[in-house]
Structure 1
C-alpha cells in the first residue's frame, strides 16, 4: 500500500514538473517575440502598374536586422457610404519578404481608384509581434514629351489629377535611367511644377546609349498625398556607343581560342628546338656507344 502511495506521489510530482516546464517554455517563447519596424510606400508606374514597397526589420543586441521570409497580408480599405462612415477591410493578397526583409506587392489593376488606402499586416508570426502599417494616396498621373526649341531638346512633363486638374508646386525629379541608378538632368536635383502642372528640363548633350537610344525617368517621389509616381519616356536623341571591346580579337586577355598568333608560334618553335636538340644528343650518344662496343669486340 505504501509503495502504491509513493508511486502516485511521484507520478503527481512528475506531472506537476512537466506542467511547470511547459508553461515556462510557452511564456518564455511569448516573451521572445520581437517588435519589428515596418515601412510601406505606395508607388505608381505610369502605363504599367501600382505597387506597395514593403520593408521590415527588427533590432537586437547587434543592431537592426532584416525580417527575412516573413509573410505579410495586404488589405484594401474602403469607407462605407452613409453617416456611419465605417471602414471595411478586404484582403487582396499576401507577399513574402526576401533575405533583405523587402518585398513588392503588385496591386491588382481593378483596385486602382481616385483614392487608395491599404493596410499591410503581419499576423501570427512565431518570431515577431503582430504589427501593421497603413498607407493612403490620391491618384495622379504624369505625361511627358520631348520637344525641340532653338536646337535644344527639352523634356516637358505635366502632373495632373484624373479629372485633368493640374498639380502645382510639386517637386519633380528628371533623370536618365541607367542600370545602376539615375543620372540627373540639368543643374537642379528636382524641379517644381508651375500653375499648369508643367516642368521643362533641357536634355544634356553627349548622352550615350545603345544605338543612341535613351530612357528618361520622370518622378514625383514620396509625396505625402500622392505617394511615388514614375513615368518613363524613350528617345533616340543620344549618341551611339562605339563598341571598343577586343573580346573577339587576338589579345592577351582574349579567350583561349583567340590567343595571339605569336603566342602560338614562338613557344612551339622553342619546344620543337629543345626536342630536336635532345633527339640529336640521344642519337649521337647511341652512335658513340655502338662505336665503343665495336672497338672492344
Structure 2
C-alpha cells in the first residue's frame, strides 16, 4: 500500500515538473523581404519575446521556412537559426520563376515544436519587380533616372522612390525625401549642386520600400562627382604619423638630450673616482 502511494506521489510530481507541460513563452516574429537588384533576394527575420516588461532577442531559435503554393498547399524551403541579435536571413530566388502573369510570392516562417516557445507563424507576401537606375546628363545637368516595372515589364505608377548617396556613416538623401513614379514608372532627379567624391566617383542608391514589393534597392556608381584629391599625410613625417614616420627633430633632439645627460653622469663618476683616489693617497702620507 505504501509503495502504491509513493508511486502516485512520484507520478504527480513528474507531471507537475515536466517541461513539456509547463507554460511556454510566446515569441514575436517580424519578416521583411529585401533585395538588391542583381543579387538574390532574402527574408530578413527577427524574433523577440517579452520578459519583465522588456523585449529580448530570441537567440539560437530554429525557424522553418515554407512557400505557399496554393491556399491549401505549402512547400518546405529550409531552416534558419537566429543569431545573438535574434535575427536570421533566408536567401530566396524569384528570378528563376517564369510566368506570363504577375505573380505574388508568399512565404511562411514558423516556430515548430520548440521546447521554450509556442508554435506561431508569420507570413510575408510580395510581388516581383524590376528597378533600374542610372546617371544621365541633359543640357549640362546631371540627373538620376530610375524606372520601376513589374515582373512583366509593365510600369508601376505612383510608387515612392528614394534617391540616396552613399556616405561613410549613413546614406545622404538627394533632393526630396521621396519621388513618385509617373505613368511610365520613372523618376528624374536633378543633381543641381556638385557633390564631392573620391576621383569624382559617386555611389547612389535608389530605394523602394513598399508593403506590396518589399525593400528593393538599385546601387550603381556614376563618375559625376566633384573631384576630391587625397590630402592624406600618412606617408609624411608628422606628429600624428605612426612611429616609423616620426619627425626627424623628435628623433634627434631627445637623443642629444639623453646623450648630454649620460656625459654629465660619466663626468661626475669620473670626478668622484679621482677625489676618492686623491683622498686615499693623502691618508697614506
Q: TM-score, normalised to structure 1's length? A: 0.87
**Residue matched to 1:166:** 155
2:91 paired with 1:106: yes
Q: Deviations over 1:162-201 (max 9, x none)?
A: 2221111111111112343321111x10000111111111
Matches for 1:1-297 after TM superposition, within 5 Å: 9=2, 11-26=3-18, 30-31=22-23, 33-79=24-70, 86-109=71-94, 112=97, 114-186=103-175, 188-221=176-209, 223-297=210-284
Q: TM-score, normalised to structure 2's length? A: 0.91
Between 229-238 and 173-182, report the one with greater CA deviation: 173-182
Extract unaligned runs of 5+ from structure 2: none
Q: CA deviation at 1:128?
A: 1.2
Structure 1 residues 111 and 164, CA gap change in structure 2 (3 angstroms): closer
Q: Distance in 2 between matches of 1:266 and 1:56?
A: 62
Answer 1 or 2: which has greater helix percent: 1
Q: Report if the CA contact (8 A) 2:65-2:78 is conserved.
A: yes
Q: Report if the CA contact (8 A) 1:185-1:204 is conserved.
A: no
Q: Helix, strand or coil for the counterpart of 2:249?
A: helix
Q: Distance in 1 between matches of 2:39 and 2:232?
A: 35
Q: Helix, strand or coil for the counterpart of 1:168?
A: coil
User: Where in structure 1 do 4 or more consecutive aligned residues deviate above 6 Å?
Assistant: none
Structure 1 residues 13 and 250, CA gap change in structure 2 (3 angstroms): farther
Q: CA deviation at 1:233?
A: 1.9
